[in-house]
Amino acid sequence: MPCTVRIASPLRSYTAGAGAVTARGRTLAEVLGSLEERCPGIRFRMIDEQDRIRPHLRLFVNSSEARELTAKVADGDTVHVVCALSGG
Amino acid sequence: MADTLWIGTRKGLFSLRSDRARRRWKLGGPQLLGHIIHHVVQDSREPRVLLLAVRTGHLGPTVMRSVDRGRSWCEAAAPPAFRKAGAGAEARAVQRVFWLSAGHRSESGTWYAGSSPAGLFRSTDGGERWEPVAGFNDHPMRPQWAAQATPDGEFLHSILIDPRDPQHLYIAISIGGVFESTDAGANWTPLNEGCAADFLPDPAVPFGHDPHCVVQHPLMPDRLYQQNHCGIYRLDRPGRRWQRIGKAMPRKVGDVGFPIVLHPIDPDRVWVLPMDGRTVWPRTSIDGRPAVYVTADAGESWRRLDRGLPRSQAWFTVLRQAMCTDRHSRPGVYFGTTAGEVWASTNGGESWRCIVRHLPEIYSVTHAA
């Protein structure tokens, strides 16, 4: 199932500068796996080795925040990768 | 011989390249602007190769590699990471790759990395793919050795490879102590006898100490020095008891600090940069008067070196990776401050001058030939 993944600026070195890329999958885990195939290395910067979303990242499927990689993704959905950092 | 200093900062990578006399230094960079650079290390076996330990505020930690003396950088295909935890097991994730060490000269392509929380990792392909060193990371005593006593987890650093034997390793964990392996990391034993741990209820513990930096002299590998949270020490192997050589420091200065650096050919000479470890641990230069101290007799006596350094109101903090020497017979000594200055001495510390200002907070200063 194709979906759109919107990429935050800290991760665009992996997407040749693209702010949105297409990926496939029925769950967030599958979408991130698809993204990793296309953009090697990107997943580990977002998801740690225990499959936890890194503390300064938030993932949304459309407008709903997904806190687990088991979150469902449907054909035509948009996955947003949002970076959140405070301080200087 | 021109020299290069690699400056890892909280906001990117910089370089300083000297003329042959080490009088003029040209600043290069920033590269990887905005990235947090914990350590930059040249491969002494293959000098065109450098590795750096990096992360950003948002993203997970990784390692980058250059094969063209730092002109360009590529990310490791498999950065250091703990094994996926089984059900009910402690699920550790690398928060930062903190330390890098090139392997033994007979093991081309071998590198070691230390992380927080404390983990040891090895690459055998020049830093492209990293594997956990199970002998440490999964050691049954590891949860006691590195007991998550600090919120970020302990830092594993000072990975030392005996130049006579690639199987013989030392590591240090802050907080945790110094550990030794004689079988390439398959097993480890604590090596902390004689070190103080005066912050613990029982100071006479076998581990739980706070080594800030440990160095091994390449020409006398049985000679180790340690700058610890609780003093400066020397250990001459095969002995197992550290001697507190910091007792010879002036009483008003004390022997607390982060870095300790070696002379390239004289095992009796090391430099330290004391910091204020009183009361709430400001960790600045003592009384705002920064000074380097040198010993020429393996710690029997120390001499203050502050010519050219500010005389007052200079509140330096110099982190453990932010001081180094070069390889000249009369070595240059360099340090970077958390205020973004790099100070240099080309006469063994006798006099100092600031060679760059206004960089971001400096985490690492390393020399490259």
CA distance A29 to B190: 41
Contact state of A45 with B62 under an 8 Å Cβ cutoff: yes
Search chain A and give the residue with CA nearest B95: A48
Token pair recorded at residue A15: 């997407």
What pLDDT shows up at residue B1? 65
Contact state of B91 with A50 under an 8 Å Cβ cutoff: yes
Mutation target among A11, A50, A83 for the B interface, most CBs of B within 10 A: A50
CA distance B97 to B113: 7
A7-25 confidence digits (pLDDT tens):
999 999 999 999 999 999 9
From chain B, pick out residues whose CB is under 8 angstroms from the CB of A84: 58
CA distance A23 to B229: 50
CA distance B32 to B16: 16
Residue for token pair 């040891």: B120
Search chain A and give the residue with CA nearest B75: A41
Contact state of A54 with B60 under an 8 Å Cβ cutoff: yes
**Could you tell me if A84 lies within 8 Å of chain B, comparing CB atoms?**
yes
Q: Are B264 and B309 in contact (CB under 8 A)?
A: no
**Could you tell me if A73 lies within 8 Å of chain B, comparing CB atoms?**
no
- Partner residue opposite A50 with nearest CB, options B57, B58, B84: B84
Residues of B with CB under 8 A from a CB of A: 56-60, 62, 75, 77, 79, 81-85, 91-94
What pLDDT shows up at residue B89? 87
What pLDDT shows up at residue B203? 81
What pLDDT shows up at residue B152? 74
**Phi and psi of B343, rounded to 5°?**
-110, 140
SS3 of chain A: helix, strand, coil, percent, to 5? 25, 30, 45
pLDDT one digit per residue (tens) for chain B, 369 residues = 689 999 999 999 999 999 999 999 999 999 999 999 999 999 999 999 999 999 999 999 999 999 999 999 999 999 999 999 998 888 999 999 999 999 999 999 999 999 999 999 999 999 999 999 999 999 999 999 998 778 877 999 999 999 999 999 999 999 999 999 999 999 999 999 999 999 998 888 999 999 999 999 999 999 999 999 999 999 999 999 999 999 999 999 999 999 999 999 999 999 999 999 999 999 999 999 999 999 999 999 999 999 999 999 999 999 999 999 999 989 999 999 999 999 999 999 999 999 999 999 999 999 998
Search chain B and give the residue with CA nearest A9: B58
How many CA atoms are closer than 13 Å to the CA of B143, on its beta-carbon side? 5
Q: Is the peptide bond before B211 cis (omega within 30 degrees of 0)?
A: no
Token pair recorded at residue B272: 């330290």
Domains of chain A plus CATH, in order, are 2-83 (3.10.20.30)
From chain A, pick out residues whose CB is under 8 angstroms from the CB of B62: 41, 44-45
CA distance A1 to B251: 71
A32-85 confidence digits (pLDDT tens):
999 999 999 999 999 999 999 999 999 999 999 999 999 999 999 999 999 988
CATH code of the domain occupying B4-81+92-321: 2.130.10.10
